[in-house]
Amino acid sequence: MNGIFLAFLGGLITFSVTTLGAAGIFCVKKQISDKWQNGFLGFAGGVMIAASVWSLLLPGIDFAEENGQIGWLVITVGFVLGVIILLLADFFLHKWYKKQREKPVTLRQSTSMLVLAITVHNIPEGMSVGLAFALAAQNKENIALMSGAIALTIGIAIQNFPEGTAVSLPLMKEGMSKKKAFLIGSMTGIVEPIFSVLAATFASMTKSSIAIFLAFAAGAMIYVVVEELIPEAHMDTNSKEGKEGTIGFIVGFLVMMILDVALG
């Protein structure tokens, strides 16, 4: 099947699971506890780190070397570019938010920044799914690559479910209607199918550069984990010894690693 079409399906699946998670607000009457929310964020971080290694960086190195490129150099350049782009995006987001603070505020800073963080980190997730399927489509004889792309999609979809809930519930707690909170929570994932298709399209046009694209997505994902998810996963704990974010990270990492190794 066409890599771009597969990328679209993969991105659509991850977006659909985000929507299902956001729909969880129709089944609850109160805000999710800080412990659960920290655990969910840690889980997402663990999945993204494992996916970056097994689904993006390692296949990228193999692809570069098979095409006569210097694997470590190509991956390093792509990784650094991914970090730089996210640094710039982060800079402009914070600059924009400072301007918004001068206007009447309707949401707490932590809530609005959570929505922004989840949306931004969904972009490299979508890219990673698209690139994984593009690589698999270009190397149809390597069944492991297709299995790895499927495992990556499953892993990201699993961690998207609690993300959708973690975004929608704080919005509802601050007075927003359930329908509007659900819509915003769901739309944080719409960037995934969009960037999945865009990444697969670019990869199909410049096949020799797919390794650097894979590293780019990995760099962007790891930046988001370190900059946004890990700090958020350790905020608002009722105890200084709260380990929910750390435990969630470990579980997420193991789940994604097992999926990728078992299927790939």
CA quadruple 210, 216, 221, 225: dihedral, nearest 10:
150
DSSP designation for 24:
G
* 88-109 residue pLDDT tens: 887 877 777 666 655 555 555 5
Measured distance CA(123)–CA(7) in Å, rounded? 13
* 174-232 residue pLDDT tens: 778 889 889 998 999 999 999 999 999 988 888 788 899 899 999 988 998 888 778 87
Mean pLDDT computed over every residue of the chain: 84
User: What does the pLDDT read at residue 212?
Assistant: 92
User: What does the pLDDT read at residue 224?
Assistant: 84
User: What does the pLDDT read at residue 165?
Assistant: 81
* Residue 196, CA distances (Å) to 54, 181, 213, 254 in order: 18, 25, 12, 24
Segment 58-62 shows an average pLDDT of 91
- Look up residue 164 and give its amino acid: G
* 42-57 residue pLDDT tens: 888 898 899 899 889 9
Spatial contact of 177 and 161, defined as CB atoms under 8 Å apart: no
Residue among 83, 85, 111 at smallest CA distance from 97: 111
Kindly report which listed range (25-29, 68-72, 128-132) carries the lowest average pLDDT score: 25-29
User: What does the pLDDT read at residue 189?
Assistant: 92
The separation between the first and the last C-alpha atoms of the chain, rounded to the nearest angstrom, is 19
Q: Residues 84, 87, 89, 91: is their CA dihedral positive or negative?
A: negative
User: What does the pLDDT read at residue 79?
Assistant: 96
**pLDDT higher than 80, residue 20:** yes
Question: How open is the CA angle 85-86-88, to the nearest 5 degrees?
Answer: 65
Q: Which span out of 20-24, 226-230, 232-236 was modeled with the highest average pLDDT? A: 20-24
Q: Residues 34, 36, 42, 45: is their CA dihedral positive or negative?
A: negative
Spatial contact of 192 and 14, defined as CB atoms under 8 Å apart: yes
